[in-house]
Structure 1
Amino acid sequence: MAERPRLPATTSDGECIFCAISTGRAPAAFVHEDNEFVGIVDLCPVTTGHLLVLPRAHHADLAELPPEAGGRMFTIAQKLAAALRRTDLRCEGINLFLADGTAAGQEIPHVHLHVIPRHAGDGFVLDADWRVRSREELAEVSAKVRAVL
């Protein structure tokens, strides 16, 4: 399987590539446009029909995105997922994927949500240590998160 190409995060003049796309200063194939968000076809798709939802306003990561905008981003993704299922593109399922931070795989520091059509044998996998954790470990993690909410 080919390695995913690393695309530049900025234009030749240093502008965030997603900001340039959202304002029409860089090319993209749009599937959704409104005052706050755009939906585009991913240039390096996991599968055919892979879309991105991104805010027009620059927010480097999920923490910077206002909560109401985050909700709206997922609502748009839900509509795009339903639209993908109505096309003739191969789509037996959908993954919504948001990489928040470099360690999570975020390549462009402008928050964006992937809408990925899936089908059997498409080759896309997320692998991890999926073993069952102890109740004590779960309680410890829960306490740490609750303490900072």
Structure 2
Amino acid sequence: MSQVDLFESLVEKRVQFNNEIDQYWEQFSNIDTWQFWACVAMLIIPLIILFVLLDRTRVFEIGFYGFSIHAITLYLDTYGIKEGLWGYPFQLSPYIVSNFTLDASLIPVTFMLIYQFTFHRSRLFYISNLAGIIAFAFILKPIYEN
């Protein structure tokens, strides 16, 4: 099999797989399910809390920290899903590979607030980050997985 044939076969399989993901989302995770609305709440509520609590004098510093956390979690989550290590049965959209509510809102906002309130107390900063990592890795993420 030539390189072009193999690549076209892979693209065809990817299109078929994406169609199956769309069908699954329409049946089990669409706008009519409570899981969809729970995902919407977990996307919006942390952003509202951040808007209220954010230290406006350090907005760029804290925002860059949050963006860094977002990028790291997005890449790790996408890799884990691609490798079949985990998956999420309920999502906001079938077009986003990772769990958008966790990777774009809940996790970054949590660590942004930890950073904001504990950065100048190094021991508390590290302990709080470790507690957050453990909570997300061993408690919250497994709840979302299938």
TM-score between both structures, scaled by the size of structure 1: 0.25
Which of the pair is proportionally richer in strand? 1
Higher relative contact order (Cα pairs below 8 Å, separated by 6+ residues): 2
TM-score between both structures, scaled by the size of structure 2: 0.25
